[in-house]
Amino acid sequence: METIPTMRKTILCTALVLAWLAATSHAAEQPGLAAPRAEAAARAFAAKRPYSPYAGRSFPTQPFFGDTHLHTSFSFDAGAFGARLGPREAYRFARGEEISASSGQPVRLARPLDFLVVADHSDNMGFFPDLLAGTPSILADPTGRKWHEMIRSGEGARAALEIVDAFSHGTFPKALMYLPGTAAYRSTWEETIAAAEEANTPGRFTAFIGFEWTSNTGGNNLHRNVVFRDGGDRARQVEPYTTIAPLGSDDPRDLWRWMAGYEEKTGGRVLAIAHNGNLSNGRMFPLIEPATGRPLDREYAETRALWEPLYEVTQTKGTSEAHPFLSPNDEFADFEIWDKGNLDLSVLKDESMLEFEYARAAFKNGLLSRRTLGTNPYAFGLVGSTDAHTGLSSADDDNFFGKTSAHEPNPKRAVEPFLKGAEATTIMGWEVAASGYAAVWATENTREAIWDAMERKETYATTGPRMVVRFFGGWDFEESDAHTHRPAEVGYTRGVPMGGELLSAPAGKAPTFLVAALKDPIGANLDRIQIVKGWVDASGEARERVFDVAVSNGRAIGADGRCTVPVGSTVQGATWTNSIGAGEMITVWRDPDFDADRSAFYYARVIEIPTPRWTAHDAAYFGVEMPAQARVTTTERAFTSPIWYYP
């Protein structure tokens, strides 16, 4: 199956070029289509193609899989939890080498990743190595001495939780704060850059320079990962932005100002990826801005949309696509949900917070905001990543090395508490998820190409498997397009890819979508493909609906657009077979309820057949019994970036 393309639209000015374009099949010139970004590359085929159908092809032909969110021992909390692997070891592992984990166990990926962002926390960068070593400045502070002794005596996990709690609630000792401008901080940043430069091999493996900005006031997660398009020549001209005043701030607007300043100073490019809205207690996707207490304004909407083109929708601390309370008619919404409280469980969850924490609800509120502000602040694409604090980008259930190094494979990790909070609330070890990865449709494996694809949102999230997913929207796809052996060319010439926009429907037409999925070559078969639609109705209320558009094993899709017959399960303990499901699916779907006057979004969700969860693999390997409430099977999935329709 050939995959579906994307390109970037460039505005061309000369009469000669305009005349040439008039003779081409140019998607952006067709009524109702828009390129993902105004500066996108020219997308055109000659009036008569060469004899070779692949000659001159310049659109992406494969997705690249990677992790945009990995921590190493350079992060103060990761180190305290036991991580001893630095950025260099992290890149070696991601490139496919076998290394020793911090627990001493040998570990290797089934397949190398294509790219990696080491995103260590910008706050206190360089603190942990000195804490572990017990430098004089650390031991001179009573709290520093206590934490050092806890780590040395084997209580690193407890020390880590104390460190995170102190940082979240503003009680971290000022004398222990490692800030930009100090020698230790600068040295750590230089080493981070050097590791990425050494590992980066254009065409084979991309090592991005990045960091995590960790706004966590009151334990409410507003974290963003900052990803540079550039190499060390530009990244060395700055030091990471932190959350500690006066050099930093916990307000996202200030982070965006810093990003603008970086681009102005260096001529480079940078973007931010937010994550874990589910732990923000209603602050990640607000309609009332937390910092001001006032409704969002146009500046906020435009600035957020500019700097944050992507959102990390799945990772070890839960999946933030949808929630059963918000989507009661979606039987697949209850997937790896963390909804007990904020990041440190210091404040428990209230149902009124959920609407402002999950991606699907944000997409709906984004449509509403566009009506009042003229801009959609939540028109973001989707990726997954691990947020592992181990130096190991491991999202496979049969090779899961945990969220932290204290959670690396051992007989007790599933049955012991992972985090304890207010009112005896506990997150157990088995609740940690083996997830996820980012899939990016880029023209080549380089920093520039992958970053550009991220910016134009031609991305999708997976919970671990490397399934191939294409999603195109247009006005003229036909059933026969699902049977061609070059659907990418069809999708490109007559539509826009995931992350794109459809504008002003041609008279009498409804949008059609070409969607295709190919199973992970070493993974499970596919259960179904779904399209999730959200729209604003005539009364001004945002609504949603899930459609099954392709299902396996000859099952039927009803008149209501749903298949109610489960695919079944072959899971037995830690084993399963591909005797059910399908290896490949492709279809064309037309929106049956389209209203040309109403804004809408559409994204594809691909569901695998059931497979053993990491807890089942632990039970089999260690010969232990899981608690009755622990999930031991999973249905891995992928979520594409949406396609938006605006009248």
Query: How far apart are alpha carbons 212 and 381 in whole angstroms?
Result: 19
Strands (E), 344-422: 381-384, 417-420
- What residues does 643 pair with on adjacent strands? 602
Answer whether residue 485 is part of any domain: yes
The answer to whether residues 379 and 476 belong to one domain is no
Show the tokens assigned to 6.
């994307």
The answer to whether residues 78 and 132 belong to one domain is yes
Q: Alpha helix (H) ranges present in 47-141?
A: 76-80, 87-94, 127-133, 136-139
The answer to whether residues 499 and 420 belong to one domain is no
Query: How far apart are alpha carbons 121 and 213 in whole angstroms?
Result: 6
The answer to whether residues 106 and 21 belong to one domain is no
Show the tokens assigned to 184.
């230790």
For the four alpha carbons of 531, 532, 536 and 537, in that order, the dihedral sign comes to: positive
Show the tokens assigned to 347.
């404040």
Query: How far apart are alpha carbons 491 and 502 in whole angstroms?
Result: 13
The answer to whether residues 46 and 72 belong to one domain is no
The answer to whether residues 55 and 69 belong to one domain is no
Answer whether residue 5 is part of any domain: no
Q: Is-cis flag, bond preceding 436, omega within 30?
A: yes
What are the residues whose beta carbons fall under 8 Å from the beta carbon of 286, sequence distance 6 or more? Answer: 296, 356
The answer to whether residues 164 and 45 belong to one domain is no
Is the whole model's pTM more than 0.75, yes or no?
Answer: yes
As averages over each run of 10 residues, the pLDDT of the chain (647 residues) reads: 33 27 39 57 58 90 97 93 95 98 98 98 91 91 93 85 83 90 93 98 98 95 98 98 94 98 98 98 96 94 98 98 98 97 96 98 98 97 98 98 97 96 94 98 98 98 98 97 92 96 96 98 98 96 98 97 98 98 98 97 98 98 97 98 97
The answer to whether residues 50 and 136 belong to one domain is no
Q: What is the pLDDT of residue 16?
A: 23
- Domain boundaries, position 263: 64-441
Answer whether residue 6 is part of any domain: no
- For residue 286, CA distances in Å to 163, 278, 301, 306, 356 come to 28, 13, 11, 17, 6
Q: What is the pLDDT of residue 128?
A: 87
Answer whether residue 283 is part of any domain: yes
Phi then psi for residue 362, to 5 deg, are -65, -40
> Would you say 209 and 230 are in contact if contact means Cβ atoms under 8 Å apart?
yes
Q: What is the pLDDT of residue 47?
A: 63
Answer whether residue 455 is part of any domain: no
Query: How far apart are alpha carbons 219 and 216 in whole angstroms?
Result: 5
The answer to whether residues 633 and 563 belong to one domain is yes
Answer whether residue 159 is part of any domain: yes
The candidate with the shortest Cα–Cα distance to 273, out of 259, 263, 261, is 259
**Residue ending a domain, choose from 423, 441, 459:** 441
Count of the separate structural domains present in the chain: 2
Query: How far apart are alpha carbons 428 and 367 in whole angstroms?
Result: 37
The answer to whether residues 69 and 22 belong to one domain is no
Which residue's entry shows tokens 């609630």?
Answer: 169
Query: How far apart are alpha carbons 30 and 13 in whole angstroms?
Result: 19
Q: What is the pLDDT of residue 118?
A: 98
Phi-psi region of 280 (alpha: psi -120 to 50; beta: other; left: phi over 0): alpha
The answer to whether residues 399 and 498 belong to one domain is no
The answer to whether residues 364 and 483 belong to one domain is no
